[in-house]
Amino acid sequence: MSTSITVAGLENRPAWWHNQTIRVTASVARGWDLHHTLLSRTQWDRELLDDHVRGRLRELCARAATHGPFRQRAAATSAAETLDLTHFPVLDKKDLVENWDALHTGLVDPVDVLRVFTSGTTGQPISIDHSDRQLDYGSACSLRVLDAYGLAPGLRCLRVTCDPRHPLLDFDVVDALGPALQLNVSKVTPENRATVHDICAQFRPDAIWGQPMELLITTSKIRDGLVPALTPKLVMTHGDNVSPRTRSVIRETFEAAHCDYYALQELGQVAWQCPVEVDTYHVNEERVLLRFLPDNILALTSLINTAMTLVNYAPQDCAVPVPEPCSCGRVLARVRQIKGRQRGFLVDSDGGHLNIKWLQTTLDGLPVAAWRVAQREAGTLHIDLAYDAHSSAAAEIDRLRAGIADRLRMSQVTIGVSTPEAVIGDSGKVRQFDLYATQETVADNLLGAS
Ligand SMILES: [Zn+2]
């Protein structure tokens, strides 16, 4: 039986070609190879690393000269000799939205691009296209971090989540690393406590992985006896900036090494916490180049993405460069005091904490110009929706209100309907979530109670 398919653009490819799982699996092999032949060596050898980065920069300038937006093409020609990226204009999120077409190189078949969306917590979500190298480097960079912390593939990883869409317990495999048990700590109750204890005891996680807020909620469930005390070798955090008090809670609770990642949907994993000089992060220079604009604002350049040209991209994150060599011996550039985003959590009518993803996706799917959510006390939510022309029928708003109250276990949801001007305001930016449950408030409670 033939396995060919006839979707336009895919005529000559096998039917399994665009199976996401197969592409990810194939990238694991390439990622392991990349780690073995490149990343495990360049991190100790400045000359080798510089040589590699120069090669990537030459490739990037050549590509931007022919496949970039107008302003970048001119810069790429000037930068071709010196490989000096200061010639390139700085791009912000708005530039990414307005020049979306121009920033695409057209070098990767549209059916082959890996499309991700930025979270949009600070404004409009942006779709970013990557080439397969993104998956390869994802595996390779993860292997490098594990190796730095004395762990190896095959480790058992407990992923903690507070996403209302996730079940209480689920089994998975973390790409390139090993088996994963996913535990939705927001769904642990006295009724299912025994099951959770039993499965965690059998799984014996080597590592725990989650967003900083999810680790805090896990801690509070451990204190309440709903989740068993855990003794991993490593705690990994990602997503949001970790506040100093969250770090203290994680240290007290798990007594394990803690590795935090700085990563963006736009670029993947940018930097990771050094196991020796723990207040600094090593930059994955093989894939991302960092420049510092005034006030320590970061301008990031992807050295691996052939689908989209991201040069001097400034998402308004900040970090302080650390010029001194690291005592761990790695030559990778270092930064400290990374300042990116920090998102709050929703609190349901029982005091349970939930992350914002489901609500954000739901509101993004509405035909509105903008939206805004505020929570001042547990179990209540206020949402403002801004319609361009005609507003939705009252019945639809009622259905939305009931759906949100049910899914997020809120006793009261109010929805205000207004114009974009009223919601967006003069600044042109919407602060989409204004929530009282933040890392600061949750970590303070836990530190105060210990
Ligand atoms: Zn180091």
Q: How far is the CA of 52 from the centre of ligand 1 (A)?
A: 20
pLDDT given for residue 67 in this prediction: 85
The proportion of the chain whose per-residue pLDDT surpasses 90, expressed as a percent, equals 65
Candidates 171, 158, 248; CA nearest to 209 is 158
| Mean pLDDT confidence for 383-408 | 87
More confident residue, 101 or 167: 167
Question: Which contacts (CB < 8 Å, 24+ apart) does range 372-375 have?
Answer: 372/423, 372/430, 372/431, 372/432, 372/433, 372/434, 373/432, 373/433, 373/434, 373/435, 374/433, 374/434, 374/435, 375/344, 375/346, 375/347, 375/434, 375/435, 375/436, 375/437
**Phi, psi (rounded to 5 degrees) for 65:** -70, -30
Q: Which tokens go with 322?
A: 């650390």
Q: How far is the CA of 327 from the centre of ligand 1 (A)?
A: 6
Taking only Cα atoms into account, the Rg of the chain, rounded to an integer number of angstroms, comes to 23
In this predicted model, what pLDDT tens digit does every residue of 209-227 receive, in sequence order? Answer: 999 999 999 999 999 999 9
Q: Which tokens go with 177?
A: 């690393």
In this predicted model, what pLDDT tens digit does every residue of 120-134 receive, in sequence order? Answer: 655 567 889 999 999
pLDDT at 3 over 60: no
In this predicted model, what pLDDT tens digit does every residue of 228-272 receive, in sequence order? Answer: 999 999 999 998 999 999 999 999 999 999 999 999 999 999 999
Residue entry with tokens 């799984």:
203
pLDDT given for residue 229 in this prediction: 96
Residues less than 5 Å from ion ligand 1, measured at CB: 274, 326, 328, 330
316 φψ region: left (φ > 0), alpha (ψ -120 to 50), beta (else): left
More confident residue, 2 or 410: 410
Residue entry with tokens 């805004």:
372
* Alpha carbons 303 and 322: distance in angstroms, whole number: 21
pLDDT given for residue 277 in this prediction: 97
Candidates 409, 363, 376, 415; CA nearest to 394 is 415
Average pLDDT, the chain: 90
Q: How far is the CA of 167 from the centre of ligand 1 (A)?
A: 38
* Alpha carbons 259 and 244: distance in angstroms, whole number: 14
Q: How far is the CA of 276 from the centre of ligand 1 (A)?
A: 6
Residue type, 94: K
Q: How far is the CA of 325 from the centre of ligand 1 (A)?
A: 8
Q: How far is the CA of 277 from the centre of ligand 1 (A)?
A: 6
In this predicted model, what pLDDT tens digit does every residue of 357-373 receive, in sequence order? Answer: 899 889 988 888 889 99
| Mean pLDDT confidence for 27-53 | 96
Lowest mean pLDDT, pick from 95-99, 143-147, 168-172, 380-384: 95-99
343 falls in which pLDDT band (50, 70, 90)? confident
pLDDT at 346 over 50: yes
Sign of torsion, CA 169 173 175 176? positive
The proportion of the chain whose per-residue pLDDT surpasses 70, expressed as a percent, equals 94
Residue type, 53: V
Q: How far is the CA of 58 from the centre of ligand 1 (A)?
A: 28
Candidates 196, 185, 244, 222; CA nearest to 449 is 222
Q: Which tokens go with 388?
A: 């361009």
pLDDT at 4 over 70: no
Q: How far is the CA of 265 from the centre of ligand 1 (A)?
A: 24
Q: How far is the CA of 301 from the centre of ligand 1 (A)?
A: 22
Neighbours of 62 (CB within 10 A): 12
**Domains plus CATH for the chain?**
17-151+233-342 (3.40.50.12780), 346-449 (3.30.300.30)
Q: How far is the CA of 258 from the centre of ligand 1 (A)?
A: 14
**Phi, psi (rounded to 5 degrees) for 4:** -75, 155
pLDDT at 336 over 70: yes
* Alpha carbons 30 and 16: distance in angstroms, whole number: 18
Contacts of 235 (CB under 8 A, 6+ apart): 207, 208, 209, 215, 250, 254, 256, 257, 258, 259
What 3-state class would DSSP assign to 318?
strand
End-to-end CA distance of the chain: 65
* Alpha carbons 61 and 187: distance in angstroms, whole number: 50
Lowest mean pLDDT, pick from 177-186, 235-244, 374-383, 384-393: 384-393
Q: How far is the CA of 263 from the centre of ligand 1 (A)?
A: 18
Neighbours of 16 (CB within 10 A): 11
In this predicted model, what pLDDT tens digit does every residue of 281-335 receive, in sequence order? Answer: 999 999 999 999 999 999 999 999 999 999 999 998 999 999 999 999 999 999 9
Candidates 446, 240, 423; CA nearest to 345 is 240
pLDDT given for residue 19 in this prediction: 79
* Alpha carbons 328 and 325: distance in angstroms, whole number: 9
8 falls in which pLDDT band (50, 70, 90)? low
Neighbours of 168 (CB within 10 A): 16
More confident residue, 448 or 228: 228
Contact 44, 330 (CB under 8 A): yes
pLDDT given for residue 426 in this prediction: 61
Lowest mean pLDDT, pick from 12-26, 306-320, 400-414, 417-431: 417-431
pLDDT given for residue 10 in this prediction: 62
pLDDT given for residue 2 in this prediction: 40
Contact 273, 93 (CB under 8 A): no
Q: For helices 244-254 and 439-449, what crossing angle results, to 10°?
A: 40
Overall size of the chain counted in residues? 450
In this predicted model, what pLDDT tens digit does every residue of 66-114 receive, in sequence order? Answer: 887 778 888 888 888 889 999 899 998 888 888 888 899 999 888 888 8
| Mean pLDDT confidence for 12-38 | 86
pLDDT given for residue 178 in this prediction: 86
pTM, full prediction: 0.88
